[in-house]
């Protein structure tokens, strides 16, 4: 289990415990967190689960593969260095304390 913080564009934060083997995206959906659409259901095809990983985060993340890299060029909000698809971030104990910023729009 990992405690994940989802920061909304208006500045509010939602902190939830997410069980492995869920993803950061699935954790948001299970906890009814607005701002993650996940239109493709987590198959890294749509880009509507785009998040910005907090720049102060020291949580180790898995490497980005070429599919995720390509999809991030088509997101509704601009891609940044800290952009990730939340469906590609599997929850492990190492993700405890992860903070992600939700973009203004997903589609």
Establish if 71 belongs to a structural domain: yes
Q: How many domains does the chain have?
A: 1
Q: Which residues of the chain have pLDDT under 50?
A: none
Task: Provide the 10 A C-beta neighbour count for residue 26.
Answer: 22
Query: Quick one: pLDDT at residue 44?
Result: 97
**Domain interval for residue 59:** 2-101
CATH number, domain of 95, equals: 3.10.20.30
- Listed in sequence order, the residues at least 6 apart from 105 whose beta carbon sits closer than 8 Å to its beta carbon are 76, 77
Query: Quick one: pLDDT at residue 58?
Result: 93
The burial class, CB within 10 Å (0-12 / 13-18 / 19+), for 82 is middle
Distance between CA atoms of residues 102 and 7, nearest Å: 6
Residue 77 CB-half CA count within 13 A: 20
Establish if 107 belongs to a structural domain: no
Establish if 38 belongs to a structural domain: yes
Query: Quick one: pLDDT at residue 4?
Result: 98
Query: Quick one: pLDDT at residue 29?
Result: 98
Query: Quick one: pLDDT at residue 42?
Result: 96
């Amino acid at each position: 289990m990992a405690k994940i913080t989802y920061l909304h564009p208006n500045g509010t934060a939602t902190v939830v415990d997410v069980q492995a083997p869920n993803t950061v995206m699935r954790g948001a959906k299970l906890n009814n967190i607005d701002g993650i659409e996940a239109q493709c259901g987590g198959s890294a095809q749509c880009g509507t689960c785009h998040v910005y990983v907090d720049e102060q985060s020291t949580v180790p993340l898995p490497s980005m593969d070429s599919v995720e890299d390509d999809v991030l060029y088509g997101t509704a909000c601009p891609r940044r260095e800290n952009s990730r698809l939340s469906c590609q971030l599997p929850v492990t104990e190492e993700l405890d304390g992860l903070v992600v910023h939700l973009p203004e729009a997903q589609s």
